[in-house]
Structure 1
Amino acid sequence: MPLKYSILPNRGVLKISGPDRVDFLQGLVSNDVSKATDTKGVYAAFLTPQGKYLCDFFILASESHQCLMLDIAADALPAFKKKLTMYKLRADVEIEDVSQGYDILAFFGDAKMEITPGLYQDPRLAEAGYRAFVSKGTGWQNAEEVDFDSYDLHRLLLGLPDGARDMIVEKSILLENGFDELNGVDWDKGCYMGQELTARTKYRGLIKKRLLPVEVQGPLPENGTEIYAADKLVGEVRSGLEKKALALLKLDFIEEPLRAGESTLRVIQPDWIILTK
């Protein structure tokens, strides 16, 4: 597949600057912020103290601007910015919404790209492609621009969650949504908000449900449609497009016939997803 890119209209950009920026964010999010550079992205989440999902994002560290740049869902950005401001206390940081100045691009296809500042390989999966921060309206010269639905279908086929479209704020937990396999958690970084529940879930093997891609036979169910195996409620449909969707399912039922509304569903397990029952 030739290299394609889509401008992601549902993303915003948060800028965190100041000498304490890395240490400040490090104590709040699920991954090691110090590993971000201007060409290496870090995927991370921000949780409640009880370990429930609030938002997720990609982090780059801009050396030229001495700041962290966060690629985050636009609808989650205001609440996250407010939370960060609350936790700021005496930390020497500035937190700015700079979304008006940037587009987030997602690249996919078989071609390899030369990494440059602001452009990085998606840290979740190599198959996911690349992402970039670019000045608003500039696009990209050496790739074909396609619509958002083309990228969204690529994402669904890989089984990658897309923020609150797939994870319920203040209810979802990271490991049900693939954050371990998708490099969204650093198990050695030390304390962060919600770490205790996240670690306990992993080491006690408490995962009973997973977000999985499904193939839809029939009309595409709406987000939130209940899924049944016979007469048992076993999950919910999340985001979808055409005949593909993501679904949060109880692991004990993923091999059984599934229905959601007027449609039947078939689980498609990508190679990266590791299931334990």
Structure 2
Amino acid sequence: MASERTILTSRRLVKVFGDDAKEFLQNLVSCDVSELSATSSAFGALLTPQGKILWDFFVFADESTDGFLIDVSAEELDAFAKRLAFYKLRAKVTVEPADEAVHVVAEWGDDLSADKPQDPRLAEMGLRYIATGAVEETASEADYHAHRIGFGVPQSGQDFQLADVFPHDTDMDSLNGIAFSKGCFIGQEVVSRMKHRGTARKRIIKVSADSDLPAAGSDVLAGEKSVGALGSSAGGAGLAMLRLDRAKAAVDAGVPLMCEGVTLSTSIQAWATFNWPSSD
């Protein structure tokens, strides 16, 4: 199919630049920003010391300032910029919102440019890049979300709430969102321990039904017990954050997973680095 392209109006950009910008971000965020270029980007998060996600985002190199552009939810722009500025201390860093004429663009399908950054989470998602001024759009943001949901890729604000979950709960460890080998960052000890101990019990996986799915946030039940909550959906395809052990036990016992009277089928994404827990 021909490529589809849309401005993600739900996203805004924060500029981070100055002599210490690279070291400043590298020591704060979960992703590795040390080798970014015009054709690459990084997906990561700023965590609490306890390892929960305060904000997730994408980081791009900004050639105009020799710094970075951070793609974050528009609703979180001011709070995110304020928190970054709080961490500056004596670092030679400037943090400020980018001009509203600078856009985040998503593009997917065939014949994609090799000169623009791929979505760093998953190659099948296509391109995600920065553009200034007019963009020839061939799709809507709703089309982008249907594309995202089809590949089982979660998004904060739709599939989980910020400050409430660990990166592993949202599959960030499978989506290149945590650079385990880069060294220290805020919350690093907790997420590294979860990786090595395999203690993540909640995961976001794909769900489907023969009808349109209920609203995001609806409880997913096994009998009368909640095993998780529904996230975003497009028609009968969606995502849900589930306790995998409880969901598997229910299905193994022949108990269907239900959401507002709708029977759900579940599947783990092909790209996932996790699987259903053992029944042993």
TM-score range, shorter chain: over 0.9
Name 1:271's counterpart in structure 2: 270
* Alignment of 1:124 onto 2:117: no
Distance 1:55 1:209 in 2: 19
Structure 1 residue 99 displacement after superposition? 4.5
Paired residue secondary structure (1:34): coil
Structure 1 moving runs of 4+ over 4 Å? none
Give yes or no for contact 1:18–1:92 (8 Å, CA) kept in 2: yes
Give yes or no for contact 1:55–1:164 (8 Å, CA) kept in 2: no
Higher mean Cα deviation, 227-236 or 253-262? 253-262
Name 2:87's counterpart in structure 1: 87
Give yes or no for contact 2:3–2:108 (8 Å, CA) kept in 1: yes
Q: 1:32 to 1:254 in 2, by over 3 A?
A: same
Give yes or no for contact 2:14–2:69 (8 Å, CA) kept in 1: yes
Distance 1:148 1:197 in 2: 34
Which of these residues, 203, 217, 228, is aligned with residue 235 of structure 1?
228
Match for 2:126: what amino acid? G
TM-score (norm 1): 0.93
Structure 1 residue 241 displacement after superposition? 2.2
Match for 2:110: what amino acid? D
Distance 1:135 1:112 in 2: 19
Structure 1 residue 62 displacement after superposition? 2.1
Name 1:9's counterpart in structure 2: 9
Q: Which runs of 5+ in 1 are unaligned?
A: none
Name 1:135's counterpart in structure 2: 132
Paired residue secondary structure (1:265): strand
Paired residue secondary structure (1:103): strand
C-alpha distance after superposition, 1:58-82 (max 9, x if no partner): 1111234312011111112211111
Structure 1 residue 253 displacement after superposition? 4.0
* Alignment of 1:179 onto 2:172: yes
Structure 1 residue 218 displacement after superposition? 3.6
**Aligned residues with identical type, % of pairs:** 37
What pairs with 1:244-259 in structure 2 (closer than 5 Å)? 244-255=237-248, 256=251, 257-259=256-258
Give yes or no for contact 1:211–1:249 (8 Å, CA) kept in 2: yes
Distance 2:39 2:149 in 1: 25
Paired residue secondary structure (1:83): helix
Q: Which runs of 5+ in 2 are unaligned?
A: none
Name 2:186's counterpart in structure 1: 193
C-alpha distance after superposition, 1:8-34 (max 9, x if no partner): 111001111111101111111001111
Paired residue secondary structure (1:121): coil
C-alpha distance after superposition, 1:129-179 (max 9, x if no partner): 00111113x114xxx611111111000011111122222222111012111
Q: 1:76 to 1:216 in 2, by over 3 A?
A: farther
RMSD over aligned CA atoms reads: 1.5
Give yes or no for contact 2:212–2:234 (8 Å, CA) kept in 1: no
Distance 2:157 2:189 in 1: 22
Tell me the number of residue pairs that the alignment of Structure 1 and Structure 2 aligns: 270
TM-score (norm 2): 0.92
Distance 1:4 1:213 in 2: 23
Which of these residues, 154, 157, 160, is aligned with residue 150 of structure 2?
157
Higher mean Cα deviation, 215-224 or 157-166? 215-224
C-alpha distance after superposition, 1:174-209 (max 9, x if no partner): 012111111111111111111111011110110111
Give yes or no for contact 2:25–2:33 (8 Å, CA) kept in 1: yes
